[in-house]
Amino acid sequence: MKFKIQALFVVITVFSLIVTVANLYSFNKQLHFFALRLSGRSPPPPHIIFIVADDLGWSDVSWHNPNMITPNLEKLARSGLILNYSYVAPRCSPTRASLMTGYYPHRIGLQYQVINHGDRSLPLSFDVLPRKLKDMGYATHIVGKWHLGLCSWKHTPTFRGFDSFFGYYSGREDYYTHKIGNMYDFNFNTEVYNDTKQQYSTFLFRDRAVDIIKQHNPSVPLFLYLPFQAVHGTLQVPPKYSKMYSHLNRHRATYSGMVTAMDEAVGDVVSALEQRGLSDNLLLVFLSDNGGRPIKGGYNWPLRGIKNTLWEGGTRAVNFVYSKTLLKDSSSVSNHLMNAADWFPTFLAAAGSKDVDLDMDGVNQWDVISKGAQPVRSEHVYNIEGRAAIRVGEYKLIKGDPGFQLGEHQPVFNFIGKGRKTANGWIAPEDIGSQKTKFGKPIAKKYGLFNLHDDPLEEHDISEDFPDIVEKLIGRLHHHINLSVPYVKSTPMTNDYSRLNVMTPGWCDK
Ligand SMILES: *[C@@H]1O[C@H](CO)[C@@H](O)[C@H](O)[C@H]1NC(C)=O
Ligand SMILES: *[C@@H]1O[C@H](CO)[C@@H](O)[C@H](O)[C@H]1NC(C)=O
Ligand SMILES: *[C@@H]1O[C@H](CO)[C@@H](O)[C@H](O)[C@H]1NC(C)=O
Ligand SMILES: [Ca+2]
| pLDDT-derived band at 279, boundaries 50, 70, 90 | very high
332 pocket-lining for ligand 1 (C-beta < 6 Å): no
| Helical pair 92-101 and 343-350, crossing angle rounded to 10 deg | 30
Which residues sit opposite 389 in a β-bridge? 383, 398
Ligand 1, residue 456: give the atom nearest the CA.
5
71 pocket-lining for ligand 3 (C-beta < 6 Å): no
Q: What pLDDT score was predicted for residue 412?
A: 33
Distance CA 345, CA 363 (A): 6
Q: Whose CA is nearest to atom 14 of ligand 2?
A: 194
Please write the tens of the pLDDT for every residue from 31-67: 555 555 555 567 799 999 999 999 999 999 999 999 9
- Contact (CB, 8 A) for 93 and 118: no
Ligand 2, residue 502: give the atom nearest the CA.
4
Sign of CA dihedral 322, 324, 326, 329: positive
CA distances in angstroms from 112 to 89, 287, 346, 394, listed in the order given: 10, 21, 26, 26
Q: What pLDDT score was predicted for residue 297?
A: 86
Catalytic residues: 92, 147
Residue 394 DSSP one-character state: T
496 pocket-lining for ligand 2 (C-beta < 6 Å): no
Pocket test for ligand 3, best of 106, 392, 478, 479 (most atoms within 8 A of CB): 478
Ligand nearest to the CA of 476: 3
- Contact (CB, 8 A) for 187 and 506: no
- Contact (CB, 8 A) for 380 and 87: yes
Distance CA 397, CA 480 (A): 13
- Contact (CB, 8 A) for 284 and 224: no
Which amino acid is located at 127 in the chain?
A: D
pLDDT surpassing 90 at residue 460: no
CA of 11 relative to ligand 4 center, distance in Å: 60
191 pocket-lining for ligand 2 (C-beta < 6 Å): yes
Ligand 3, residue 478: give the atom nearest the CA.
13
Please write the tens of the pLDDT for every residue from 287-317: 999 999 887 888 888 888 888 889 899 999 9
84 pocket-lining for ligand 1 (C-beta < 6 Å): yes
Distance CA 466, CA 462 (A): 7
Distance CA 331, CA 74 (A): 11
Least confident range from 208-222, 374-388, 399-413, 487-501: namely 399-413
CA of 116 relative to ligand 4 center, distance in Å: 13
Ligand 1, residue 303: give the atom nearest the CA.
5
Determine how β-strand 139-145 pairs with β-strand 332-339.
unpaired
Over 161-216, what HEC string results? CCCEEEEECCCCCCCCCCEECCEECCEECCEECCCCCCCCHHHHHHHHHHHHHHHC
CB neighbour list of residue 177: distance below 8 Å, 6 or more residues apart? 184, 198
Q: What pLDDT score was predicted for residue 437?
A: 36
Q: What pLDDT score was predicted for residue 440?
A: 39
Q: Of 347, 269, 452, 339, which Cα lies nearest the Cα of 104?
A: 339
CA angle 468, 392, 421 (to 5 degrees): 95
CA of 479 relative to ligand 3 center, distance in Å: 7
Q: Of 403, 336, 298, which Cα lies nearest the Cα of 53?
A: 298
Mean pLDDT of 156-177: 98
Distance CA 176, CA 184 (A): 11
pLDDT surpassing 50 at residue 413: no
Q: Of 241, 342, 212, which Cα lies nearest the Cα of 285?
A: 342
CA of 465 relative to ligand 4 center, distance in Å: 35
Q: Whose CA is nearest to atom 1 of ligand 3?
A: 482
CA of 448 relative to ligand 4 center, distance in Å: 25
Ligand nearest to the CA of 457: 1
Ligand nearest to the CA of 452: 1
pTM, two decimal places: 0.88
482 pocket-lining for ligand 3 (C-beta < 6 Å): yes
Backbone φ and ψ for 16, nearest 5 degrees, come out as -70, -30
| pLDDT-derived band at 12, boundaries 50, 70, 90 | low
Least confident range from 80-84, 115-119, 380-384, 458-462: namely 458-462
**Which position has the higher pLDDT, 391 or 7?**
391
Q: What pLDDT score was predicted for residue 404?
A: 56
Which residues sit opposite 396 in a β-bridge? 391, 450
**Which position has the higher pLDDT, 297 or 128?**
128
Which amino acid is located at 510 in the chain?
A: K
Mean pLDDT of 209-238: 97
195 pocket-lining for ligand 2 (C-beta < 6 Å): no
Residue 341 DSSP one-character state: G
**Which position has the higher pLDDT, 401 or 267?**
267
Q: What pLDDT score was predicted for residue 247?
A: 87
| pLDDT-derived band at 28, boundaries 50, 70, 90 | low
- Contact (CB, 8 A) for 376 and 368: yes
Mean pLDDT of 481-506: 95
Q: What pLDDT score was predicted for residue 444?
A: 53
502 pocket-lining for ligand 2 (C-beta < 6 Å): yes
Mean pLDDT of the chain: 88
Neighbours of ion ligand 4 (CB under 5 A): 54-55, 92, 289-290
Give the three-class secondary structure for 382.
strand
- Contact (CB, 8 A) for 382 and 315: yes
Q: Whose CA is nearest to atom 6 of ligand 2?
A: 192
Q: Whose CA is nearest to atom 5 of ligand 3?
A: 482
Q: What pLDDT score was predicted for residue 38?
A: 54
Q: What pLDDT score was predicted for residue 436?
A: 35
CB neighbour list of residue 85: distance below 8 Å, 6 or more residues apart? 316, 334, 335, 336, 337, 338
Distance CA 189, CA 9 (A): 63
Q: What pLDDT score was predicted for residue 20?
A: 53
Pocket test for ligand 2, best of 194, 196, 503 (most atoms within 8 A of CB): 194
Please report, rounded to a whole number, the percentage of residues in the chain having pLDDT higher than 90: 73
Ligand 3, residue 481: give the atom nearest the CA.
1
Q: What pLDDT score was predicted for residue 6?
A: 67
Q: What pLDDT score was predicted for residue 41?
A: 62
Q: What pLDDT score was predicted for residue 21?
A: 47
Most confident of 47-56, 249-258, 442-451: 47-56
Distance CA 443, CA 398 (A): 9
CA of 84 relative to ligand 1 center, distance in Å: 7
Burial 10-26 (b: 16+ CB within 10 A, else e): eeeeeeeeeeeeeeeee
Q: Whose CA is nearest to atom 12 of ligand 3?
A: 479
Q: Of 350, 389, 386, 387, which Cα lies nearest the Cα of 367?
A: 350
Over 294-305, what HEC string results? HHHCCCCCCCCC
Q: What pLDDT score was predicted for residue 39?
A: 56
CA of 97 relative to ligand 4 center, distance in Å: 12
Contacts made by residues 176-185, CB under 8 angstroms, sequence distance 24+: 176/200, 176/201, 176/236, 180/117, 180/503, 182/501, 183/117, 183/498, 183/501, 183/502, 183/503, 184/501, 184/502, 184/503, 185/502, 185/503
CA of 53 relative to ligand 1 center, distance in Å: 21
335 pocket-lining for ligand 1 (C-beta < 6 Å): yes
Distance CA 476, CA 481 (A): 9
Mean pLDDT of 233-255: 93
